[in-house]
Amino acid sequence: MGRSRSREKDRDRRRDKEKDGKEKDKEKKRSRSRDRRRDEKKKSRSREKEKEKKEKEPAAKSKVGDAEKAKLAANALKEIFTGIAKPDAQKGGNFFIPQDWHLRYKDALGPYKKFVQSCEELALHEIGNGSFKVTKKGDACPETSPAKQEQWKKQLDSAWQTYCKVTPTHERSLKNFTSVLPTGAEKTKADAPKQAQADAPKAEEKKAEEASEGAGTGSQKRKAAEEPKEGGGKTLKKKAKKKP
């Protein structure tokens, strides 16, 4: 009887321990969930504060006086007129934009394209693909087709960018990049200039003329050497008579 009672007590103790363990596990889970909810609330509050801060910053930056705005607009116009006056400023698919527009002018004058459209002194010419040209009001749009010698450079640059995206950094090399070129591309030499090719026949004709003139002069010299000088025959005859 005593043994059976002790066994029952042991079982009761184990059950109590298991209950305590389960209760502790539940409490740990509850505390973890509380901590997660608390952390999420903190993160959401910090995100809201950052959002409010970002919304307030542009408003503070945009507070530029009318006098300062007019001064910036005059400086921007001056830069644009100087830039578009250069022959190659808007060559091919490029358009002129003052350097660091987004840092120096955007806050006060807005985006560059909208500023150009709002200026009476300027004209904006759309050329497709989101690009445009800027000219003085009434001027014709500059040439839009890119020069052929510039096209291959842009295509090569695009190919290199694509190669870098799909190739790991440690595997990139100029040798691997150029290995896909057609066979014999490395041995290709530049053609002779067209002007040199055009002048080649003329040079050959000139050489032939000089050679023929030289040949004529040589034959004349030989002929002159063979012909006896004036009085030369008589001298020989006299010398012949003196011989015994």
- Residue 19 pLDDT: 77
- Which residues have CB under 8 Å from 133's CB, separation 6+? 90, 95, 124, 125, 127, 141, 142, 144
Long-range Cβ contact pairs of 79-84 (< 8 A, separation 24 or more): 80/116, 80/122, 80/134, 81/136, 84/134, 84/135, 84/136
Q: 140 — alpha (psi -120 to 50), left (phi > 0) or beta? A: beta
Q: Is the CB of residue 164 less than 8 Å from the CB of residue 177?
A: no
Backbone phi and psi for residue 181, each to the nearest 5 degrees, phi listed first:
-65, 155
Q: Three-class SS of residue 220? A: helix
Question: How deeply is 96 buried, as exposed, middle or buried, from its count of CB atoms within 10 A (0-12, 13-18, 19+)?
Answer: buried
Taken in order 204, 210, 213, 217, the sign of the CA dihedral is: negative
CA atoms within 13 A on the CB side of 131: 15
Q: Cα–Cα distance between 177 and 92 in angstroms, integer?
A: 27
- Residue 239 pLDDT: 47
- Residue 200 pLDDT: 52
Low-confidence spans in the chain with pLDDT less than 70: 1-3, 56-63, 143-151, 184-244
* Widest distance between CA atoms in the chain: 185
- Per-residue pLDDT tens digits for 138-185: 888 876 655 555 667 888 888 999 999 999 999 899 888 888 888 766
Single pTM value for the model? 0.37
- Residue 82 pLDDT: 94
User: Residue ranges of the domains in the chain?
Assistant: 66-139, 147-178
User: How is residue 201 written in tokens?
Assistant: 């026949």
Q: Cα–Cα distance between 94 and 130 in angstroms, integer?
A: 11
In angstroms, the first-to-last Cα distance of the chain is 185
